[in-house]
Amino acid sequence: MNKQKVWFITGASRGMGQEVVKEVLRKGDKVIAISRNMQHTNNGDTENLLSLQVDITNDEDVKNAVKKGVKYFGGIDVILNNAGYYLAGSIEEINDEEFRRTMDINVFGMVNVIRHTMPFLRKQRSGHIINISSNMGYVGYANTGSYNASKFAVIGLSEALAQEVKVFGVNVTVVAPGMFRTDFMSEATLMAAENKIEDYYLDKHIDTLQSFHGHQPGNPAKLAQILYNISTLSTPPLHLILGKDSYESIIEHRKNETKELEQWKHLSFSTDFK
């Protein structure tokens, strides 16, 4: 019988995070469910669930949440950094505060969680950190620059972290989902830059994104099952692309990127001292 594990899940009150919480509890593991606004969840604290309202961008808040969770369950095994923030807008439109908020939630909040959970994983010489990026962490798109920047950072951060913690028996997986059928692109949750510039047609871009709502091809319940399953593997993947749309867009981008690099290789090779 597999050991009952303790999960620490951010962004746990809705969307993909909530689906993973349900799957993990269904499989008999325990969950420390972290959310900025717990009013969205119907889950009360139980023997296997501890729900905490936490601002992951606040380092002290995260530190206290980790301590509470470890005290409640006696340990911690799997970290799912799922909390995310999406802001539509061109680089020129997004102001300093808006850009920093994207990075604070998607990158620095994740780092806060890793910083305060790693001491426990390192001490026990085991664990699994799963970081949610996006296909937009591999491919840049117009009017998504701040989100692209944050999700590209998540991939680089995860690759570095994997090398740092492998010696401690801790695994790292960075996940790049495509479009999954959650409320991520709904009118209620989709945020846009306050300073819209007509030349960038941001309203049209937002209408396009919202048109996907309710029609996304990805099933979040299947994503949750996969994330649970890889948590049971001794050697899980470092990079995991989920969704046919995500896989195809990333592969096509890589092909075009390789072609461009080859085209300009003569310049790349021309800079060394002779």
* Residue-level pLDDT at 40: 45
Per-residue confidence (pLDDT) for residue 37, from 0 to 100: 80
- 147 vs 256: CA distance, rounded Å: 22
Domains parsed from the chain with CATH numbers:
6-248 (3.40.50.720)
Q: What is the pLDDT of residue 13?
A: 86
* Structure confidence by residue, pLDDT tens digits, 207-256: 777 666 656 767 889 999 999 999 999 999 999 999 999 999 999 999 99
Residue 214 has a pLDDT of 58
| Overall average pLDDT of the 37-53 stretch | 74
Q: What is the set of active-site residues?
A: 133, 147, 151
Instruction: Tell me the three state secondary structure of residue 143.
Output: coil
> What is the predicted pLDDT for the residue at 208?
75
Which residue in 59, 31, 51, 158 sits closest to 116, CA to CA?
59
Question: What is the number of alpha carbons within 13 Å of residue 57 lying toward its C-beta?
Answer: 11
pLDDT, tens digit, 9 for 90 and up, residues 70-101 = 999 999 999 999 999 999 999 999 999 999 99
End-to-end CA distance of the chain: 63
**Whole-number percent of the chain with pLDDT over 70:** 90
Q: Which of 178-182, 186-190, 221-225, 230-234 shows the lowest mean pLDDT across its residues?
A: 186-190
For residue 42, is pLDDT > 60? no
Q: What is the pLDDT of residue 166?
A: 98
Higher pLDDT, 260 or 191: 260
Mean pLDDT of all residues in 42-46: 60
Given a contact cutoff of 8 angstroms between Cβ atoms, the answer to whether 18 and 37 are in contact is no
Q: Indicate the range of 78-87, 142-151, 184-193 predicted with least confidence.
A: 184-193
